[in-house]
Each structure stands twice: as structure tokens, then as C-alpha cells.
């Protein structure tokens, strides 16, 4: 089935274009935000040729289709208007963070490290290949050829803080170039020279504990995180006419010394402590540790929590130059490959045989998700066989004290990143995991799937997986809960303006006061400036300049409407400072308006701020008759 036909069938079975709020994708899945789950036919979706499985998780309908996902995603642009927002709210699945603490942590780690993994794997393969070439005597370390290739393989790790500064700045939505400048100062040759000299260093008389920051991880991440808050503070208090110069100036003057004096030493010490703790645990019994890590790895991948260990792997590489834990996790990948091959050999179902074969090939190069979700996990027994075999392989890898010298998805192409002490043991462990998983799967077997119908059935509106019932519109229109009762994990929305807070039902406009647009609050502004209440993206602006729509990082759709019936002013007295698609930070100036002129024209300047997708949240807000400064929390969403 070609991509366009597959997209058409998927769109039909999820209830049509009008039943899709957003469509995003990741490496292997289409992720739909569905309006009415009752219109989705999960059984028919799973029976589609080209669909591996369907998952309801994190408020999304996830259609797993494997490596074809980019082309199928693009096909939706040809058959619908779902992709017309371009780089807006439908751009990637990563933009929708979980509201739980663990979800936010995983989203943070993935956002910072994922963009680097491809280049890191390539550099690691080159580094491993060079080590093999040197061991074979084909090159020596004094030859210029080796020097050039070594620089190519090592530069990413040497300047790792600068690359992490880029990804961290994107994740924390702060100035990328200032972040890179701070990282550059950490690895600046003169600064590193002060560390190598071992002499006392001071900054205006204050002692500076010098550390080696090349290849470091934690210091720059925490530095950029703190910088993001300082930047927002400065942007709120520095006039926009000089903001582009003064904000970066103060950030550099503040953050470079602060990082060298406090954040850096604390971060380096924390890195060493984390590495030593995990090495100590691993060294206590490498065989058991290796078996446990390998057995658990694919289970962690299923739930997405493996990203927490990616941070540990990279920290080990930066502190010690290698990672035992990374090597121990690798047999699990080859074990899944063996299970997939076992399924392909044993099954009599043609569709399953083809699926197992294609996902088997992908798994050999480290891409296991399609095979896990579409074959081994669905059949259960092959997945269990793979876990048992992975434990056996992991025990051998642990016994051999194998380690990785770089990051990269374990697979045939990335074997050189494990070259060094214990490399033979690593190869044996992975081979045994593969063979044992294959043999166990063939011997133990599995229940053959029921043969699906030849043609795809029409939607029956009775999904096999019943999602949690969405909150009804009536519930959404109820009075918001008290702000003091909001959980700590709730998303905080600041006041968009300085002024008096009033209840939404008191607004002299039934569209807002009735709650038909959504829940929220209203502000009677005391100055003509509107600021962003959250970090997010501008979803919509109006030619009249009187309103702006924002999509928060966590998916809240926020409408700020300056004045009642002010659209009739046709843009007079308004100046918009943002455009659709712009990324904005909390406290950033969005628009300005002439408060006096609008009032003199006879218009009410009360400014509602409503959550237009309030049915997806529990909404908490402050009471009325309060004076609010711009940025003070007035709404929380959980």
C-alpha cells in the first residue's frame, strides 16, 4: 500500500479530518490528538496493511508504522489541511510534554540529547575504527592522516559543552548564541590553561575553583537553564529599543563568571559523583548488573523511561571516557533481533512473516521499536524470550567488563564504538543473546494471530481500546477551582497585563461570560501592554491586532482578547509585536495598545484570557478584585 492510500485509510478510520485536533509524528509513529475517540475504529486501523500497531497513551492515539512515518506524514498534507500549520503546533511530537514530573524529565533529556546522538554515533564509530586500525598496525598516531581523522572523531566530544548549549538553549527557549558563547568560554584555551597551570585564580578578589570543562555535560545544561530565567527577567525590565544589545551583554557578564565560580565546579563534582556511584554499583557484581540492565532495557524503552539512563551514559563518557552501562544495555537489541527472526521462521501467517522480516532487518541496525510494538510484544512469548536471552548476554558483557567509547544505537554499524577492553566478550554476549532468543522463540512458540479480513472494514465507531472519557463541555464551563488547590505539576499561566483581575462571568460579552469559548479570567488593564502568560508559540494573530492566540509548550490553547468588540477599530491603536509561528517566552511583550484612545472611543478595555481547550484540563484560577502585576500566576492547568 503506497503512502497516500495508507494516509487516506488512516484518516478515514480515525474519524476524518474534523475529528483530528493535531497530527504530529516522531521516528516511528503518527500521533493524533483526537476530538471524539468514539469515532475511531482501532480494530480496523490495526488491520491496515502498513500499520504495525495502535496505542492509546498520553492523551494521544499513536499509530505505529515504522520507518515510513515521514513519507506517510507528508501524504496527509496532500489529502487534508492537517499540516497547514507548518512548523506550528503540528510539527513534532516532542513539543507535547507530559504533565507529570517524570514525563517532563524524559521530555527534557530527550530534547537535549536526541539531536546529538546521530553525530555522536558517527564520531564514535570513527573513533573505534581508528583504534582498530592502530591495533592492526595500519597507521600510527604520529602520522598526519591519523591526526586529521582523530580530530574529526574527537572534536564533538571535546567541544560537547558547545553542542549541548545549542540543544539546551532550544529546549529552555533562550538565546542560542549567548548560550554557545558561555560554553565557548568554558573550553576557551586560555581558561583551560589556567586549569592546567594549577595556580590560584580569582575574579575581582573572589576565588575561582578551576575545572576542566572539555567534554563536560552537567555544567552547561544548568548554566543555560539558569540563563533562561535571567534572560526573561532582563527582557521584562529592559526597553525593547536596546534589548537586543543589553540583554546579551548582561547575560555574558553574569553567566560566564557565575558558571566558572559556582555552577561549573558543582556540576563537575556532581558528574563525578554520579559516575562513581553507578560504577561502584556495577563493579560490586558486573555479571548481575549486566544481566539486569540488559533484561530491563527493552522494557524501559516501551515506557519511554530509558532516556533517564541516556544522561548517565553520556555523563560516564564525559567523566571516564567510556561507559560500562551503555555496553550492558546492548545485548537487549540483538535479543529482539533474534526473536524477530524466530517469529519469521516459525509463523505461517504471511503478513506476520513479512512484518517480522522487515522489522528484523531494521533491528540489526538498532531500530527495535517497530519490531517490539508490532511483533514481539504483541505476541508476548517472543518478547519474554528476548528478555531472558538479553539477560544472558548482558551477564557475559558484564563479566568481560566491556564498555562503550561513544553513544549510538547498538547495531552492526556501531560495533566499533565498543572496541577496547572486553570487546571480544561484548561480541560473544551479543551473539549469544541473538542466538538464544532465536532458539527460545522457535522452541517456545507463540499463538498465531487471527487472519484479518481481506478488505479493510468501514468504521464501526467501536474502538477495541476505550480511552478515558474526555471531560464534557458542560464540565469545562463550570466555575474554575481555587488556584491554591492546584497541584505542583500544574502548568502556570501568568497575568498577561498589569491590572485588576475580574471573574470571566462578569465580562460584558456573552461569548466570554457564558464560557462557550472556554474557561479563564479577565483583566482590566492599567497600561497598554500585553505579555505572554506562558512559554509557547503564537498560534494565531489578527489583522486588527486586538487578539492573539498562543499554544503553550504543554498543549494549552490560550486566547487573549484585548477589549470588547474592539475588532471594529480595524487595527487602530494596536501594535502587534509577534507573528504566527513565533516562539515566545513567558513575560515576552506580545502587543501594545493605546489604552486611553480605546476608552475614549467608547470601548470596554477589559481583556479576557481564556483556555479554548479547557475541556482537556482541570482549571484553577484566582478570585476577582485583585490587583495583578504582569506575569503573576492567575491560572493553573492540570
pLDDT tens column, 453-465: 333 333 333 333 3
Half-sphere exposure for 366 (CA within 13 Å, toward CB): 15
Same domain? For 269 and 303 the reply is: no
Same domain? For 537 and 621 the reply is: yes
Same domain? For 438 and 294 the reply is: yes
Q: Is 471 part of any domain?
A: no
Q: Name every residue whose Cβ is closer than 8 Å to that of residue 272 and which is 6 or more positions away in sequence.
A: 319
Tell me the per-residue pLDDT of 539-584, one tens digit each, with 9 for 90 and over. Answer: 888 777 888 989 888 888 898 999 987 877 878 889 999 988 888 8
Q: Is 458 part of any domain?
A: no
Spell out a b/e string for 94-110, using b for 16 or more CB atoms within 10 Å of the CB, else e.
ebbbbbeeebebbbbbb
Same domain? For 256 and 306 the reply is: no
Q: Is 465 part of any domain?
A: no
* Domain of residue 436, residue span: 286-444
Statement: residue 473 has pLDDT above 50: no
pLDDT score of 104? 64
Which contiguous run of DSSP H or E holds residue 626? Answer: strand 626-628
Same domain? For 273 and 290 the reply is: no
Tell me the per-residue pLDDT of 82-132, one tens digit each, with 9 for 90 and over. Answer: 876 544 344 444 444 344 555 566 667 767 876 776 777 677 778 778 878
Tell me the per-residue pLDDT of 31-88, one tens digit each, with 9 for 90 and over. Answer: 888 888 888 888 888 888 888 778 776 567 888 776 577 788 888 888 888 876 544 3
Q: pLDDT tier at 486 (50, 70, 90 boundaries)?
A: confident
Residue 82's CATH number: 3.30.1360.60
Q: pLDDT tier at 468 (50, 70, 90 boundaries)?
A: very low
Same domain? For 219 and 293 the reply is: no
Rounded Cα distance between 362 and 263, Å, is 42
Same domain? For 493 and 541 the reply is: yes
Q: What would the mean pLDDT of 475-486 be, rounded to a whole number?
A: 63
Longest dimension (CA), the chain: 87
Same domain? For 351 and 415 the reply is: yes
Q: Is 460 part of any domain?
A: no
User: Does residue 364 contact residue 339 with C-beta atoms inside 8 Å?
Assistant: no
Same domain? For 312 and 420 the reply is: yes
Statement: residue 610 has pLDDT above 80: yes
Where is average pLDDT lowest: 103-117, 229-243, 583-597?
Answer: 103-117
Q: Is 352 part of any domain?
A: yes
Residue 533's CATH number: 2.70.70.10
What is the DSSP track for 167-218? HHHHHHT--HHHHHHHHHHHT-HHHHHHHHHT--EEETTEEE-----TT--H
Q: What would the mean pLDDT of 236-251 be, rounded to a whole number?
A: 89
Q: Which of 84, 49, 59, 62 is CA-nearest to residue 14?
A: 62
Q: Is 451 part of any domain?
A: no
- What beta strand segments (E) does 326-385 contain? none
Q: Which of 418, 444, 470 is the last residue of a domain?
A: 444
Q: Which residues are catalytic?
A: 26
Q: Which of 91, 108, 123, 450 is CA-nearest to residue 305?
A: 108
User: Does residue 379 contact residue 268 with C-beta atoms inside 8 Å?
Assistant: no
pLDDT score of 457? 36
User: Count of domains in the chain?
Assistant: 4
Rounded Cα distance between 324 and 186, Å, is 27
Burial label for 596, CB within 10 Å (0-12, 13-18, 19+), is: exposed
Same domain? For 260 and 294 the reply is: no
pLDDT score of 90? 40
Q: Which of 124-133, 207-216, 226-235, 621-630 has the highest mean pLDDT?
A: 226-235
Cβ of 148: how many Cβ atoms within 10 Å?
10
Same domain? For 538 and 607 the reply is: yes
What is this structure's pTM? 0.47
Same domain? For 201 and 59 the reply is: no
Amino acid at each position: 500500500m503506497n503512502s497516500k492510500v495508507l494516509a487516506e485509510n488512516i484518516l478515514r478510520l480515525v474519524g476524518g479530518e474534523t475529528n483530528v485536533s493535531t497530527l504530529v509524528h516522531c521516528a516511528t509513529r503518527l500521533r493524533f490528538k483526537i476530538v471524539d475517540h468514539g469515532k475511531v475504529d482501532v480494530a480496523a486501523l490495526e488491520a491496515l496493511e502498513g500499520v504495525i500497531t495502535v496505542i492509546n497513551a498520553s492523551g494521544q492515539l499513536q499509530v505505529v508504522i515504522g520507518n515510513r512515518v515521514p513519507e506517510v506524514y507528508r501524504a496527509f498534507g496532500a489529502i487534508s489541511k492537517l499540516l497547514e500549520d507548518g512548523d506550528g503546533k503540528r510539527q513534532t511530537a516532542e513539543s507535547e510534554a507530559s504533565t507529570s514530573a517524570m514525563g517532563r524529565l524524559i521530555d527534557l533529556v530527550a530534547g537535549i540529547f536526541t539531536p546529538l546522538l546521530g553525530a555522536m554515533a558517527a564520531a564514535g564509530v570513527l573513533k573505534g575504527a581508528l583504534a582498530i586500525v592502530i591495533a592492526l598496525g595500519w597507521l600510527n598516531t604520529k602520522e598526519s592522516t591519523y591526526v586529521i581523522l582523530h580530530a574529526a572523531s574527537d572534536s564533538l566530544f571535546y567541544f560537547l559543552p558547545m553542542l549541548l548549549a545549542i540543544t539546551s538553549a532550544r529546549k529552555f527557549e533562550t538565546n542560542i548564541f549567548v548560550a554557545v558563547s558561555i560554553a565557548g568560554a568554558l573550553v576557551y584555551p586560555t581558561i583551560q590553561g589556567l586549569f592546567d597551570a594549577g595556580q590560584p585564580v580569582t575574579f575581582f578578589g573572589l576565588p575561582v575553583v578551576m575545572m576542566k570543562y572539555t567534554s563536560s555535560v552537567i555544567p552547561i545544561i544548568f548554566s543555560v537553564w539558569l540563563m533562561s530565567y535571567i534572560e526573561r527577567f532582563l527582557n521584562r525590565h529592559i526597553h525593547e529599543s536596546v534589548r537586543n544589545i543589553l540583554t546579551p551583554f548582561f547575560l555574558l557578564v553574569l553567566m560566564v563568571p557565575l558558571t566558572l565560580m559556582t555552577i561549573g565546579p558543582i556540576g563537575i563534582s556532581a558528574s563525578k559523583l554520579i559516575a562513581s556511584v553507578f560504577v561502584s554499583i556495577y563493579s560490586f557484581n558486573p555479571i548481575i548488573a549486566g544481566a539486569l540492565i540488559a533484561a530491563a532495557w527493552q522494557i524501559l524503552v516501551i515506557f519511554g523511561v530509558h532516556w533517564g539512563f541516556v544522561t548517565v551514559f553520556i555523563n560516564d563518557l564525559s567523566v571516564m571516557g567510556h561507559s560500562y552501562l551503555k555496553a550492558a544495555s546492548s545485548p537487549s537489541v540483538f535479543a529482539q533481533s533474534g526473536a524477530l527472526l524466530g517469529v519469521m521462521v516459525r509463523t505461517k501467517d504471511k503478513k506476520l512473516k513479512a512484518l517480522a522480516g522487515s522489522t528484523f532487518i531494521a533491528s540489526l541496525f538498532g531500530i527495535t521499536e517497530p519490531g517490539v510494538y508490532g511483533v514481539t510484544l504483541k505476541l508476548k512469548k517472543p518478547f519474554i524470550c528476548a528478555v531472558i536471552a538479553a539477560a544472558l548476554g548482558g551477564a557475559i558483557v558484564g563479566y568481560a567488563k566491556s564498555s562503550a567509547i561513544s553513544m549510538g544505537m547498538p547495531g552492526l554499524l556501531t560495533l566499533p564504538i565498543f572496541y577496547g577492553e572486553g570487546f571480544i566478550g561484548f561480541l560473544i554476549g551479543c551473539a549469544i543473546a541473538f542466538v538464544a532468543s532465536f532458539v527460545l522463540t522457535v522452541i517456545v512458540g507463540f499463538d498465531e494471530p487471527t487472519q484479518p479480513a481481506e478488505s479493510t472494514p468501514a468504521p464501526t465507531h467501536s474502538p477495541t481500546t476505550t480511552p478515558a472519557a474526555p471531560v464534557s463541555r458542560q464540565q469545562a464551563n463550570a466555575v474554575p477551582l481555587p488556584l491554591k488547590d492546584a497541584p505542583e505539576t500544574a502548568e502556570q499561566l501568568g497575568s498577561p497585563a498589569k491590572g485588576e483581575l475580574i471573574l470571566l462571568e462578569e465580562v460584558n460579552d456573552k461569548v466570554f461570560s457564558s464560557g462557550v469559548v472556554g474557561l479563564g479570567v479577565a483583566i482590566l488593564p492599567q497600561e497598554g501592554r500585553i505579555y505572554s502568560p506562558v512559554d509557547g508559540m503564537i498560534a494565531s494573530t489578527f489583522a486588527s491586532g486586538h487578539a492573539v492566540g498562543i499554544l503553550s509548550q504543554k498543549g494549552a490553547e490560550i486566547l487573549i482578547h484585548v477589549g470588547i468588540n474592539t475588532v471594529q477599530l480595524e487595527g487602530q491603536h494596536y501594535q502587534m509585536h509577534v507573528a504566527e509561528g513565533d516562539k515566545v517566552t513567558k513575560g515576552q511583550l506580545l502587543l501594545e495598545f493605546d489604552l486611553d484612545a480605546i476608552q475614549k472611543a467608547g470601548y470596554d478595555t477589559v481583556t479576557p484570557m481564556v483556555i479554548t481547550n479547557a475541556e482537556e484540563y482541570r482549571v484553577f484560577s484566582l478570585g476577582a478584585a485583585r490587583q495583578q502585576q504582569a506575569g503573576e500566576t492567575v491560572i493553573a492547568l492540570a
